[in-house]
Structure 1
Amino acid sequence: MTAPAPLPTEATATVGGRRANYRETGSGSPVLLLHGIGRSLHDWDDQHRLLSSEHRVISLDLAGFGDSDPLPRTHTLDSLAAFCSAFLDALGIDSVDVVGNSLGGAVAMALAVRDPGRVRHLVLINSAGFGSTVTSALRAIAVPVVGRVLLRPSEKTARQTERALFRDRSFVSEERIARSLRRGSRRGAMRAFREVAHDLGTIRGIRPAWRARLTSAVAASRTPVLVLWGDRDLILPAEHLREAQRLLPDATTHLFAETGHMPHLERADEVAALILPFLADRAGDR
């Protein structure tokens, strides 16, 4: 099997005096890819290869994650959306399609609400924002003292985290485990993780107030939305897709069989095959 061609080296932009790490491929209308909590832009490598034939594809390390500098203030859903908005300003991008996984989906929605008219289409992959249930580990991390203990970087924790994300364990590679360990060991990474987890949830689950506010605003905006989910997600269970269908009745949805929290990796070709025609359908634009 031929190895995929290497992607371009990551680049940096200055956002609020701090480094924002990103990767860019292709040309055409821009698409911004946003990762989940504790993750990085590397989760989007396959989608760069699949989407860049038709789009300018930009994956971004959210502030405090990957190789982007942490914020000087608290990391919250709103502060991460503001970071993304400032990042797009730094690149001179006025209008964009946004694809987000997990936390990145919630940030994508918050960006669309924050900057009305800037986000043309939303693609939400196993996205936070549609239900209260979440894995017990993330509920515990929202508790300040407990979170500090659980987030201490170790190979065991990194391996357990990767195993929880994928239905197909062949994706739990030594490279991914090592990368997870490096991410967790970066200065500021634990703080960003704890602060976001506390902002979005408690020991009881994901807070209802921000979910109701955000989803109602997205529904009212009439931004075209595609929601994708894996039926074997251990982080945000597939029942959240039914809630997404209720809250966003105009959204297009798809459920992948035998798939975990990251369909854009486990079902990369199928995900791209759904995203590309969805983004090409300008008839649904406002």
Structure 2
Amino acid sequence: MTLALPPADQLTVAGLPMRCRITGDGPPVVLLHGIGRTLDDFTALHTALARDHRVLAVDLPGHGGSTPLDGPHTLPALAGAVAGFLDAAAVVDPAHMVGNSLGGAVAMRLAADAPHRVADQALLNSAGFGREVTVALRLLAVRPLARLLLRPHPAIVRRTERAIFFDPAHVTDERVATALTVARQPHAARVMRELVRDLGTWRGVRPGWRAELLDAVAALDLPTLLVWGERDLILPAAHLDHARTRLPRARAHLFRDTGHMPQIERTADLESLLRDFWQAPVPA
């Protein structure tokens, strides 16, 4: 099946093709997107950072143009796939990890499982810090409702895109078309269901994996930047308070009038935050 996705590269990881975009030269930066999304959520930030970094963005397995895994799609499995991707891309130095939503949890899982791969982490509206999550994701844990909600229908896709952004101007026809293309893949609904059921229930995000992961990450004392959008309808900004409690040495920034994807709504400001963080990642 030919995907109408923006042009990108491809690497083979454990025998499975992974869509990626690798540009620039310098210290490695890895960009990880959220559930049901693609590396294209980072296009503008990727371009900005690639002026003096080697920037690697990848579609997680079963997302975008990346082939699904042979086994279940779980948080550890996704982190393992990212580790394999870094090997395939010949990344040997610890990388700056930048993860949005699910991508933030994947970055933390990778840091906990393979700390030598991670120099620091920037977590953008990251999963893993609170139980509350949008009702649409909670309903995906209910099988009959999941079949209904995961239909690749233009109206459903546009409504989902609208929930992601505070400014509706970002809900472009191009973004809707990309999301619809991704949703129409034969494995897309299955991958979403597997991830939702691994990470949550109809009540919200499961506490067990969050507690274990945050304990592991806190023990690393890894330089961390926490970023949130004040108007996030997917993972509420109240999660930032819990994140500060669990990772008290982390830097934190709340963007006003911003939704679930500050890398799109606040690209230039986020770039500045990241560059400042990488210059002096540990607070005095």
Determine if the TM-score, normalized by the shorter chain, exceeds 0.5.
yes
Partner of 1:5: none
Normalised to the residue count of structure 2, the TM-score between the two structures is: 0.95
Q: Distance in 2 between matches of 1:214 and 1:174?
A: 37
Instruction: Give the superposition deviation at 1:281.
Output: 2.6
Q: Distance in 2 between matches of 1:96 and 1:90?
A: 14
Matched, 1:140 2:119: no
Q: Distance in 2 between matches of 1:165 and 1:230?
A: 10
Matched, 1:107 2:106: yes
Q: Distance in 2 between matches of 1:109 and 1:228?
A: 14
Partner of 1:49: 47
SS at match of 1:117: helix
- The one of 81, 84, 88 aligned to 2:82: 84
Partner of 1:213: 212
Q: Distance in 2 between matches of 1:91 and 1:177?
A: 30
Matched, 1:120 2:119: yes
Deviations 1:123-142 (A, max 9, x none): 00000000000000000102
Q: Distance in 2 between matches of 1:12 and 1:66?
A: 12
Q: Distance in 2 between matches of 1:20 and 1:148?
A: 26
Q: Distance in 2 between matches of 1:248 and 1:234?
A: 23
- The one of 6, 31, 34 aligned to 2:32: 34
Partner of 2:171: 172
Matched, 1:250 2:254: no
Q: Distance in 2 between matches of 1:134 and 1:109?
A: 19
Q: Distance in 2 between matches of 1:234 and 1:96?
A: 30
Instruction: Give the unaligned 5+ runs of structure 2.
Output: 1-5
Do the aligned partners of residues 9 and 179 (structure 1) sit closer, same or farther apart at CA in structure 2, a change above 3 Å counting?
closer
Partner of 2:57: 59
- The one of 17, 20, 23 aligned to 1:19: 17
Q: Distance in 2 between matches of 1:134 and 1:190?
A: 19
Deviations 1:117-162 (A, max 9, x none): 2100100000000000000000010223321221011001110000
Partner of 2:3: none
Instruction: Give the unaligned 5+ runs of structure 1.
Output: 1-7
Amino acid at match of 1:39: R
Q: Distance in 2 between matches of 1:83 and 1:145?
A: 30
Q: Distance in 2 between matches of 1:103 and 1:46?
A: 19
Q: Distance in 2 between matches of 1:9 and 1:183?
A: 14
Q: Distance in 1 between matches of 2:202 and 2:243?
A: 23
Amino acid at match of 2:180: L
SS at match of 1:254: strand
Instruction: Give the superposition deviation at 1:221.
Output: 0.3
Q: Distance in 1 between matches of 2:63 and 2:225?
A: 25
Partner of 2:235: 236
Q: Distance in 2 between matches of 1:53 and 1:249?
A: 32
Q: Distance in 1 between matches of 2:171 and 2:147?
A: 25
Q: Distance in 2 between matches of 1:120 and 1:187?
A: 36
SS at match of 2:115: coil
Q: Distance in 1 between matches of 2:95 and 2:183?
A: 30
Question: Percent sequence identity over matched residues?
Answer: 49
Amino acid at match of 2:28: P
Q: Distance in 2 between matches of 1:149 and 1:256?
A: 34
SS at match of 2:10: strand
Amino acid at match of 1:196: L
Q: Distance in 1 between matches of 2:104 and 2:69?
A: 20
Instruction: Give the superposition deviation at 1:9.
Output: 4.2
SS at match of 1:133: coil
Partner of 1:272: 271
SS at match of 2:123: strand
Q: Distance in 1 between matches of 2:275 and 2:143?
A: 41
SS at match of 1:132: coil
